[in-house]
Amino acid sequence: MRKPILILVFILISIFPVSGSLIVQVNIHGVINPATVISVERAMALAEQKNADAILIVLNTPGGLVDSTIKIIQLIDSSPIPVITYVAPSGAISASAGSFILLSGHVAVMSPGTSVGAATPVQIGAGGVTPVENKTINYMASYIRGIAESRGRPTDIAERFVTESLSLTAREALRLGVIDFMANSTSELFEKTDGMRIRFRGGEYVLRTSSPSIIRYNPGIEEKILNVLSNPQIAAILLLIGIYGLIFGITSPGTYIPETIGAICIVLALYGLGTFEVNILGIALIILGVIFTIAELLTPTYGGLTTAAIVCFILGAILLPKEPLLSRSFYVGFAFAVGGAAGVIAIFFGYALFKILQAKKMRRKVGGEELIGRTGVVVESDGNTCLIKIRGEIWKGRSEEILEEGDEVIVTGRDGLTLLVKKIR
């Protein structure tokens, strides 16, 4: 009897396989940029290919670029597979742009000890980090309100994220209905979502997340490189290195190394700058710094124009990004990091250019001009004319006074190949 029963069980398992759910996980850590969009897009494609039951987006971000944030939200909206957004681990944040993405999830979850909010669009300027103009705030407020409404979350609270820079802890977010529940871990999250009924693609959907097999999407080399270049800090520093590298190479030709490095850095910087919105004032200050540097090379002011160029480069680099969904804390850190790096780079290259100018000035002094101010000894005299030994070389000299052999003289000028000298008394 046992053998037929075992065969029957085997056949039933083959026809109706017993297995757990399949989840594809993708992490959004750090600044949200075009590389983040590629990662989310590829993770969703993988989920479709594997016929996954859900997509898990784990958030820990201070904010990011507006265009990239909107693209990720559009990917979530058009996904044929339910998306769970989860702020984790404990201590993580989902600020500014991260708040928009958290609310866009079909299920929104936070780990205890995390926070969400502070999505007021800001900008960095002469007065520090300040809110942007009202029309941008109103637009972003209506956008996040629409996201909250589509997911059945409180629109008034979502709007306050933008208009009042409201920030909530996980417990506060749960109490106000911003998230669906809290979970200490992904295993607890999947346990709570299994069998959960959600609104999905215009209807009701029952999540299946029991005994999940998790496929974690890992970014490829392309995304990692793009993630670095899309960072406003890296793009600004590369731009400064590139500009100074080209200037350094032009003023000291022959090695081709500074020009090559400078050209590569500028190309990479321009690519990075193309991924986020830049401030025209920042670009103008950097261009002004280049003009000051070139002017210093043409008409040396012994540091005056170099100092002005350094100030322009530092301020231009700090003011360069203009992305309203980068958080206030990001901009403060950006100002310190890029301002410090720009200062070090500018001072280093400024000192190098100053030394080059000094060397060029010394090279211009050839023959008798180089000897003006130096002292020598008369080795042969014929009244007012003489032969003088200076630095081991014999020069013809002339003086307004009678010179004798052995007299020590100082060079005061030149007349053709004849040095004008004066006896040292």
10 Å CB burial of residue 373 (0-12, 13-18, 19+) is: exposed
Cis ω before 89 (30° cut-off from 0): yes
Residue among 313, 301, 312 at smallest CA distance from 354: 301
The phi, psi pair for 410, rounded to 5°, reads: -120, 140
What SS3 state is found at 163? helix
Residue 86, strand partner residues = 58, 109
Q: By C-alpha distance, which of 211, 205, 188 is closest to 18?
A: 211
Give dist(CA 219, CA 397) in Å, integer: 77
Pick from 3, 25, 30: which is nearest to 326 by CA?
Answer: 30
Burial class from Cβ neighbours inside 10 Å (0-12, 13-18, 19+) for residue 132 reads: middle
135 a catalytic residue? yes
27/12 Cα distance (integer angstroms): 38
Catalytic residue among 68, 94, 96, 399: 96
In this structure, are residues 241 and 261 in contact, taking their beta carbons and an 8 Å threshold? yes
> Which H/E stretch holds residue 386?
strand 385-390
Catalytic site includes residue 50? no
Residues 6+ apart with CB under 8 A from 390: 371, 374, 375, 376, 411, 419
Pairing outcome for strands 122-125 and 93-95 = unpaired
Q: Which amino acid is at 23?
A: I
Q: How far apart are the C-alpha atoms of 272 and 234, rounded to whole Å?
A: 8
**Catalytically active residues, by annotation:** 96, 135
